[in-house]
Amino acid sequence: MTRKPIVKELIQDQTAVLTPAERQLTDALLRDYPVAGLQSITRLAEAASVSTPTVIRLARKLGFDGFPELQEALRDEASAQIKQPILKREGWPEGRTDSEAFRDFAKAVFDNLNHTIDRLDPATFDAIAKLLADPRRPIYLSGGRITRSNADYFFNHLQIIRPGVTLLSQSANVWPQYLLDMDRRSVLILFDIRRYEGELMKLASLAQDREATIVLFTDQWGSPISRIATHVVNAMVEVPSSWDSTIAVNLIVEALIAEVQSRRWEKAKDRIADLEKMFQATRIFRKS
């Protein structure tokens, strides 16, 4: 079976016949390949300082019907890059002495990651990253009995990258105090997997009344909050255990952290530098 050429190879094959603007565009694509091509056609054109018709012409010159088909090829490549090191597990390494229970659990987690990646809508990921990178949008986070740790992890990273990030108290009794400050600019990030928690649904409903944007991280079945959330990320959580696994949830969370930092790098690096100075001044951490 003949291997399908990747987009990078198609670009290299066409280098001699590219216009200066098209070369400028391919330079932008290859600098952050293949992720650069997963953004909107407008953002890609702006990043390369070319026109959107130039993007369309390049896609056709590479053998695609248009930019959507080119982007689909890049999306497949990005997915394959993730799957190869993490998920491709044909033939467990010989000689390993892992217990059967560990092996079964690990395989279930790999399957969860695989299916979560397959189901993730790039447009949803991009929309969430755009919200989180906008300092004009105050961010609030909360989770349930199990997913509180996911909310806390996300909060710890976001509040280093940007200002205006709040982790809601574990006590629902004080949530009205946070809701008081929510409005149409606010973004409420919720984590809710089975068994779905009624308090979080009530929080989401009250935030919706305040016109806040709701981003939900949930399982494959979907929390009831899905009905009113603006953006929903479904992650696979089922494993051979009495407890669900949130590893796939954190895969998306960490990818968002990386993307938001990238979008805000000029500002984020100053915040990170200031934070390091504070750590040094307080001597909280020893030098390694």
Task: Specify the pLDDT at position 1.
Answer: 41
Listed in sequence order, the residues at least 6 apart from 207 whose beta carbon sits closer than 8 Å to its beta carbon are: 140, 179, 182, 186, 188, 214
Does the pLDDT of residue 205 top 80, yes or no? yes
134-171 per-position pLDDT tens digit: 999 999 999 998 899 999 999 999 998 899 999 999 89
Q: Are 168 and 175 in contact (CB under 8 A)?
A: yes
Nearest of 237, 235, 247, 251 to residue 119 by alpha carbon: 235
Strand partners, 213: 187
Where are any strands of DSSP class E within 150-203? 165-167, 187-192
Ranges in the chain annotated CATH 1.10.10.10: 7-83
> Is the pTM for the entire model greater than 0.95?
no
Q: Are 207 and 186 in contact (CB under 8 A)?
A: yes
Task: Specify the pLDDT at position 115.
Answer: 85
Listed in sequence order, the residues at least 6 apart from 264 whose beta carbon sits closer than 8 Å to its beta carbon are: 133, 135, 161, 162
Average pLDDT of 37-50?
Answer: 89
CATH number of the 118-275 domain:
3.40.50.10490
**139 three-class SS:** strand
Average pLDDT of 87-96?
Answer: 52
**Dist. CA 236–CA 269, nearest whole Å:** 33
Higher pLDDT, 11 or 142: 142
Residue 154 CB burial class (10 angstroms; 0-12, 13-18, ≥19): buried
Residue 18 CB burial class (10 angstroms; 0-12, 13-18, ≥19): middle
**Dist. CA 62–CA 9, nearest whole Å:** 10
Phi, psi dihedral angles at 35 (to 5 degrees): -60, -35
216-258 per-position pLDDT tens digit: 999 988 999 999 999 999 999 988 888 889 999 999 999 999 8
Q: Are 22 and 28 in contact (CB under 8 A)?
A: no
Name the token pair of 219.
């399982």
Q: Please state which of the ranges 108-112, 183-187, 209-213 shows the lowest mean pLDDT.
A: 108-112
CATH number of the 7-83 domain:
1.10.10.10
Average pLDDT of 85-91?
Answer: 45
Residue 241's CB is within 10 A of a number of other CB atoms, namely 11
Ranges in the chain annotated CATH 3.40.50.10490: 118-275
pLDDT band at 95 (very low <50, low <70, confident <90, very high): low
Task: Specify the pLDDT at position 85.
Answer: 43
pLDDT band at 87 (very low <50, low <70, confident <90, very high): very low
